[in-house]
Amino acid sequence: MKFNKICVLGLGYIGLPTASTFAAHGVKVVGVDVNPDIVDILRRGDIHIHEPGLRETYKTALASGNLTVTGRPEEADAYLITVPTPFHEDRSGEYNGQKYKLADMRAVISATEAILPFLRKGNLVVLESTSPPRTTLELVAPILARSGLKAGRDFHLVYSPERVLPGQILRELIENARVIGGVTPESAQAGADLYSIFVKGEIIKTDATSAEMVKLMENTYRDVNIAIANEFARLADKFGVDIWETIRLANRHPRVKILNPGPGVGGHCISVDPWFFVEAAPELTPLIYNARRVNDAQPRYVVEMIRRELGSLKDKKIAALGLAYKPDVDDLRESPAVEVVHALQNEGAKVKAWEPFKPDAKLPGIDMAPSLDDALKDCDVIILLVRHTEFVNLKPSEISAATRARLIFDTVNGWNANEWRTAGFQVARLGVGK
């Protein structure tokens, strides 16, 4: 199938790089976002998210004349849905007295409905948003059927999960293997034709529900494995050993690959997607459910450790380094670092947070420092919450001169404890029992 023009709905971390990459490969792209502020920023030639290389790719796409940005879809050969699929903040499900989170599919529903007036025979519709199993068949297809056209007969419908790593999105979009799940084999082929415009990784065709499962299994696998690393860290604390060293040794086993513990799991994917399985089948998912609970409890565990170290948190002045949900990104969604800061404050601590990737972020109830120096200058304790490269590279001797704090608490194994001790700091680390 040939694609002269495509329409990408949702211009965030996934949609904007995807739209820009298609445009940079010669396809006419209409990028659509319902947020007028985002449309304004993009139309000015600026971008609203931090992702290495995105600004350049976006500018190239705009300059080529292939990419336009607007608030409404237009007629096109293919429609890509890249809108958010968070969980509901205010609603939850319950199974056997245990609460679980529910997927908020409103953006997928409204984006699908927005395509309806433009859908024509022979078109391709692709859902990229991470979604609960059977969403393509049972949510998207029925909405599109309101056009009078049937998925798989009159137009192609595909689920194709996005598995890029934030920080490396532009490279991984092109190089990663791509799973294309069609509602029919012909739909899968149409999806493969579309992505082969720029994908250099393997393109693997399957059915839509398998593709949905693949994406959820990938993120759930990581969540469960991080949960066990977090439990191992708690055990290491209890038994007086160093979790980082024991993981290093355990990973010398040829068939063991334990992930790293930390202050919790965040972001728009791993901390959200396992709930989609739990919601779909709570009776079948006790392990997935409990892994989520372990990881969700980890910020609280970190705060307990800090309290243990300090005696009391009341009126302690704390510099919190990093608020992003993982290293070297500006994404603060579901970030455990943010939760740690809130929990410290609830215990009476006075926290100043420094996030170099989003220094202007306005987070309710969080005192954002305008600079690292400002965060450090008047604090009693420094807590490392995110392994940003620039934090890892900090020189303990320089920090020593910039603060009166003499205690650091490292939750991500970002710092060499001996170097900090030599510079006069007392060092506490997650997963390192005394």
Ligand X SMILES: NC(=O)c1ccc[n+]([C@@H]2O[C@H](COP(=O)([O-])OP(=O)(O)OC[C@H]3O[C@@H](n4cnc5c(N)ncnc54)[C@H](O)[C@@H]3O)[C@@H](O)[C@H]2O)c1
Active site residue 395: no
User: What is the rounded distance in angstroms from the CA atom of residue 14 to the CA atom of residue 7?
Assistant: 14
Instruction: Give the whole-angstrom CA distance, residue 39 versus residue 48.
Output: 10
Q: Is residue 11 at the binding interface for ligand X, with CB under 6 A as the rule?
A: yes
- Within 8 A by CB and 6+ apart from 69, the residues are 11, 30, 31, 32, 33, 39, 42, 43
Q: Do residues 215 and 273 touch, judged by C-beta distance below 8 A?
A: yes
Judged by CB under 6 A, which of 66, 133, 159, 162 binds ligand X? 162
Single out the segment in contact with ligand X by CB under 6 A; choices: 3-11, 54-62, 133-141, 174-182: 3-11
For the bound state, the minimum distance from the C-beta of residue 144 to ligand X, rounded and expressed in Å, comes to 14
Measured from the CB atom, the residue of 268 and 316 that comes closer to ligand X is 268
Cβ-based nearer residue to ligand X, 177 or 250? 177
Kindly identify the residues of this chain, within the stretch 121-160, that bind ligand X according to CB under 6 A.
Answer: 128-130
| From 7, 28, 101, 269, the catalytic residue | 269
> In whole angstroms, how close is the CB of 11 to ligand X at the nearest point?
5
Of positions 20, 21, 82, 220, contacts ligand X by CB under 6 A = 82
Report the residue number, 273 or 355, with the smaller CB distance to ligand X: 273
* DSSP conformational letter for 375: H
Q: Which two tokens stand for residue 381?
A: 């304790």
- Residue of 28, 156, 234, 268 that binds ligand X (CB under 6 A): 268
Residue 33 near ligand X by CB under 6 A: yes
Cβ neighbours, 10 Å, residue 397: 12
For ligand X, which residue of 6, 15, 160, 310 counts as binding (CB under 6 A)?
A: 15
Q: Interface with ligand X includes 34 (CB under 6 A)?
A: yes
Count of helix runs (H) and strand runs (E) in the chain: 17, 16
What are 288's two structure tokens?
């997935």
> Does 266 engage in binding with ligand X (CB under 6 A)?
no
Q: Considering the complex, state which of residue 110 and residue 416 has its C-beta at the smaller distance from ligand X.
A: 110
Q: Tell me the CA distances in angstroms from 302 to 322, 428, 431, one per residue in order.
A: 15, 11, 10
Nearer to ligand X by C-beta: 4 or 110? Answer: 110
State in angstroms the smallest separation of the CB of 14 from ligand X: 4
DSSP codes of every residue in 395-417: -HHHHHHH-S--EEEESSS-S-H
Angstrom distance (rounded) from CA 258 to CA 247: 6
CA distances (Å), 403 to each of 162, 314, 373, 379, in order?
Answer: 43, 20, 8, 7
- d(C-alpha 234, C-alpha 241), whole Å: 10
Which of 12, 52, 152, 433 forms a contact with ligand X (CB under 6 A)?
A: 12
- Minimal distance, residue 287 CB to ligand X, in Å: 22
CB 87, min distance to ligand X, A = 11
**Which strand (E) or helix (H) includes residue 59?**
helix 54-63
Does 269 participate in binding ligand X (rule CB under 6 A)?
Answer: yes
d(CA 117, CA 41): 27
Q: How far apart are CA 313 and CA 331, in angstroms?
A: 28
* Closest to ligand X by CB, 262 or 431: 262
* Chain residue whose CB lies nearest ligand X: 12
Determine whether 269 is an active site residue.
yes
Nearer to ligand X, 124 or 247 (CB): 124
DSSP H helical ranges for 129-207? 135, 141-145, 169-175, 185-195
Given 28, 215, 316, 352, the catalytic residue: 215
> Least distance to ligand X from the beta carbon of 279, Å?
15
Nearer to ligand X, 26 or 71 (CB): 71
Q: CB 272 → ligand X: shortest distance, Å?
A: 7
Pairing of strands 367-368, 350-354: parallel
The reply to whether 212 sits near ligand X by the rule CB under 6 A is: no
Render 82-143 in DSSP notation, one character per residue. -----EEEEEEEEETTEEEEEE--HHHHHHHHHHGGG--TT-EEEE-S---TTHIIIIIHHH
d(CA 329, CA 31): 23
Determine the interface stretch with ligand X among 13-21, 55-63, 250-258, 387-395 (rule: CB under 6 A): 13-21
336 sits near ligand X (criterion: CB under 6 A): no
Q: Which of 19, 23, 29, 32 binds ligand X (CB under 6 A)?
A: 32
9 is a contact residue toward ligand X (CB under 6 A): yes
- As measured in angstroms, the least distance from the Cβ of 54 to ligand X is 12
Name the residue with tokens 């419908």: 157
Residues near ligand X (CB under 6 A): 9-15, 32-35, 38, 82-85, 107, 110-111, 114, 128-130, 162-164, 166, 268-269
Active-site residues, by number, are: 215, 269
